[in-house]
C-alpha cells in the first residue's frame, strides 16, 4: 500500500455522497456525524506500510479525535448513553471510504470491548472502557479457533476451575484481529465441555497474562493485523470472568449482532470509493477519440454499480434502525442484520471487481486504489459470519415463518 491514506492523488476532493444520510433511517445527530468525519479524516496522514504500527496510530488518532467514544456507552466515556448501531454504520461507512485500515482500527475497538459494554461488572467497565474510548488501550475479540469458526460450539479452549474461583485456560484461538498488539482480549472458552454452546464462558485476559503467547502473527492479503493466541496454563482471576458462567455463547452472539450491520457499512464505504474512482477515471480516460465515460457500456456498468450499492445500503440502514429502535423481535432483527451483511459485502465485491476491470491495466497495478480495495473487500465476506452462514440464518427463518 501507499505510505498515506490515499494511494492515488486525484484532482478532485473525494467525499462520499451525503444523499443517503437524508434517508428516514437516520436522525440529526447521525447525519451530523456523517458530515463531520470526512473533514477530519482528510486532515490525517498515516503511514500504512506497517499495518500494526498504522493500526496503533489510527487508534490513537481516533481516540484523540473523539470518534472512539461511539464504541462504548456514555457512562464510561462514550458519546451516547448506549451503543448506537446507526452511528456505527455512518462512521464505518465513511472511514472505509477513505481508509479501510482506519475502519478496521475503529471497528475492533468496538467489537473487542463490546462484551464488556454489554455484560461487564462496574469494576470491569470502569477499568477498560474509558481507555478504549480514549484510544489508550487496544481491544480484541477472541472467539475463533483452528477447528471452530462458524461452529462456535466446537471450540476446544478449556477454562478449568482453580482454587478461589480462578480459572486455568489451555488451548488456542486464531484469526484474532489485533492479536499480538491488543492490551486485552475478550476470550470465550469451554467451562462445560459436554454442554455444547451452553457450556461457554467469557473472560477478560490482559495481554501480559502469564501463559498467554500472542507472538504468532498471521499474514493475509490485505493489511489486517491477525495472530494466533496460545494459552498454556494461563491463570485468569475470578474477577475477570465476563458475564454469567456458561453464558458466553449468548454474549458473543449479542456482541456480533450489534456490529454485524456495521460490517455491511464498511463494505458500502469501500464500494462507494470504487464507484467514485471509476467515475473519475472514466471521465478522464481518452480512447478512440472520446472518453471512456462516453461509451454506453461504461454508463451501463456505472449504473449497475450504483444500484448494487444502494441495494446493500437500504438493507444495512434498515438493520441498524431496527436494532436501535427495537423494531420487530430479536429473530427478525438478526435476520435483517444477516441480510444486510450478506448483500452489502457480496455487492461490494462485485462493484469493486467492475471498478478494477474498468481501470484496465491500472486496476491491477500494486498501489492503485482499486487494487487495494480488491484485496481489502475480500475478508468482509468471511469474518463475523461468512456469506454462507448468513444464508443459513435467513433460510432457516423462512422455514420457521
Q: Look-up: residue for cell 473523539? A: 66
Distance CA 50, CA 28 (A): 37
**Any catalytic annotation for residue 32?**
no
Distance CA 78, CA 129 (A): 8
Contact 105, 149 (CB under 8 A): no
H/E stretch holding 227 reads: strand 226-236
Helix, strand, coil % over all residues of the chain, rounded to 5: 60, 15, 25
Contact 374, 267 (CB under 8 A): no
Alpha-carbon dihedral of residues 393, 398, 399, 400, nearest 10 degrees? 90
* Residue 192 grid coordinates: 462445560
Catalytic residue among 32, 93, 384, 388: 384
Give the total residue count for the chain.
401
Q: What is the DSSP string of 10-24?
A: -SS-----SGGGGST
Contacts 24+ apart (CB under 8 A), 165-169: 165/238, 166/235, 166/236, 166/237, 166/238, 167/191, 167/203, 167/235, 167/236, 167/238, 167/241, 168/233, 168/234, 168/235, 168/236, 169/203, 169/205, 169/211, 169/212, 169/231, 169/233, 169/234, 169/236
**Catalytic residue ranges:** 384
Amino acid at each position: 500500500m501507499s505510505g498515506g491514506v490515499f494511494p492515488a492523488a486525484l484532482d478532485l476532493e473525494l467525499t462520499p455522497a451525503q444523499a443517503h444520510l437524508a434517508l428516514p433511517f437516520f436522525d440529526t445527530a447521525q447525519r451530523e456525524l456523517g458530515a463531520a468525519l470526512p473533514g477530519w479524516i482528510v486532515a490525517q496522514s498515516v503511514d500504512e506500510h506497517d499495518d500494526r504500527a498504522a493500526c496503533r496510530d489510527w487508534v490513537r488518532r481516533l481516540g484523540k479525535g473523539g470518534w472512539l467514544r461511539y464504541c462504548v456507552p456514555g457512562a464510561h466515556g462514550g458519546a451516547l448513553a448506549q451503543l448506537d448501531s446507526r452511528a456505527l454504520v455512518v462512521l464505518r461507512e465513511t472511514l472505509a471510504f477513505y481508509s479501510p485500515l482506519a475502519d478496521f482500527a475503529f471497528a475492533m475497538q468496538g467489537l473487542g470491548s463490546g462484551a464488556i459494554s454489554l455484560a461487564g461488572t462496574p469494576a470491569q467497565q470502569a477499568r477498560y472502557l474509558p481507555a478504549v474510548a480514549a484510544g489508550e488501550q487496544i481491544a480484541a475479540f477472541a472467539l475463533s479457533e483452528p477447528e471452530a469458526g462458524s461452529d462456535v460450539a466446537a471450540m476446544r479452549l478449556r477454562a478449568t476451575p482453580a482454587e478461589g474461583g480462578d480459572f486455568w485456560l489451555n488451548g488456542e484461538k486464531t484469526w484474532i484481529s489485533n492479536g499480538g498488539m491488543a492490551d486485552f482480549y475478550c476470550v470465550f472458552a469451554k467451562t462445560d465441555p459436554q454442554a455444547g454452546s451452553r457450556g461457554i464462558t467469557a473472560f477478560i485476559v490482559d495481554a501480559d497474562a502469564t501463559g498467554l503467547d500472542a507472538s504468532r502473527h498471521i499474514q493475509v492479503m490485505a493489511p489486517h493485523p491477525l495472530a494466533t493466541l496460545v494459552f498454556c496454563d494461563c491463570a485468569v482471576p475470578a474477577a475477570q470472568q465476563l458475564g454469567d458462567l456458561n453464558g458466553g455463547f449468548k454474549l458473543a452472539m449479542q456482541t456480533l449482532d450489534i456490529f454485524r450491520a456495521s460490517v455491511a457499512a464498511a463494505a458500502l464505504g469501500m464500494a462507494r470509493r470504487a464507484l467514485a474512482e471509476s467515475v473519475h477515471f472514466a471521465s478522464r480516460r481518452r480512447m478512440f477519440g472520446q472518453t471512456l465515460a462516453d461509451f454506453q457500456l461504461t454508463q451501463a456498468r456505472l449504473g449497475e454499480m450504483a444500484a448494487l450499492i444502494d441495494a446493500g445500503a437500504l438493507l444495512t440502514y434498515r438493520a441498524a434502525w431496527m436494532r436501535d429502535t427495537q423494531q420487530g423481535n430479536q429473530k427478525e432483527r438478526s435476520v435483517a442484520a444477516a441480510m444486510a451483511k450478506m448483500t452489502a459485502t457480496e455487492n461490494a465485491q462485485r462493484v469493486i471487481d467492475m471498478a478494477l476491470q474498468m481501470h484496465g491495466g491500472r486496476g491491477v497495478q500494486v498501489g492503485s486504489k482499486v487494487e487495494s480495495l480488491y484485496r481489502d473487500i475480500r475478508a468482509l465476506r468471511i469474518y463475523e459470519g461468512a456469506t454462507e452462514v448468513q444464508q443459513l440464518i435467513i433460510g432457516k427463518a423462512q422455514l420457521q415463518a
